[in-house]
């Protein structure tokens, strides 16, 4: 039943493939076509932007250039691209959350002081 998965030399990367399909056109279509009264519109747009950023980050990695990447190739040689994509998504999400909290705190302090 699962023999086709074990015979394949290329590992399946559904998360990376899904993130790679998201483009700026997808984000703009979501903004235009999504229900304006929906509470999820901002979340969907933000998730599309995060997915697009993670895919772009993985594509921009230069695995075979420079001496600094020699050690990285040892660690990432057997790693599935979905694992690296998930780590990029978590990192981008953490940065968005931290920036959002920082902007709220800064606005609160600014209103309190001035």
What is the reported pLDDT for 29? 92
Dihedral Cα 22, 23, 25, 29, nearest 10 deg: 30
Task: Kindly state the average pLDDT of the residues 86-105.
Answer: 85
Higher pLDDT, 72 or 41: 41
21 in a structural domain? yes
Higher pLDDT, 112 or 27: 27
47 in a structural domain? yes
**Token digits for 114?**
């001035």
19 in a structural domain? yes
**Token digits for 61?**
């990695």
Higher pLDDT, 70 or 103: 103
Q: Indicate yes or no: pTM above 0.75.
A: no
Q: Domain containing 96: what range?
A: 14-61+80-113
How many domains is the chain partitioned into structurally? 1
What is the reported pLDDT for 48? 92
95 in a structural domain? yes
Task: Kindly state the average pLDDT of the residues 57-79.
Answer: 65
44 in a structural domain? yes
39 in a structural domain? yes
66 in a structural domain? no
Residue (of 85, 88, 23, 31) closest to 49 by Cα position: 23
68 in a structural domain? no
Task: Kindly state the average pLDDT of the residues 20-32.
Answer: 91
Residue (of 22, 19, 3) closest to 81 by Cα position: 19
Helix, strand, coil shares of the chain as percentages rounded to 5?
Answer: 75, 0, 25
Instruction: Report whether 96 contacts 105 (CB < 8 A).
Output: no
């Amino acid at each position: 039943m699962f023999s086709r998965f074990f015979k394949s030399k290329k590992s399946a990367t559904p998360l990376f493939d899904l993130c790679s399909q998201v483009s700026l056109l997808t984000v703009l279509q979501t903004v235009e076509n999504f229900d304006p009264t929906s509470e999820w519109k901002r979340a969907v747009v933000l998730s599309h932007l995060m997915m697009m950023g993670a895919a772009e980050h993985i594509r921009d990695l230069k695995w075979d250039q420079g001496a600094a990447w020699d050690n990285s190739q040892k660690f990432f040689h057997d790693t599935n691209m979905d694992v690296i994509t998930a780590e990029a998504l978590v990192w981008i999400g953490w940065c968005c959350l931290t920036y959002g909290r920082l902007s709220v705190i800064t606005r609160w302090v600014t209103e309190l002081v001035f």
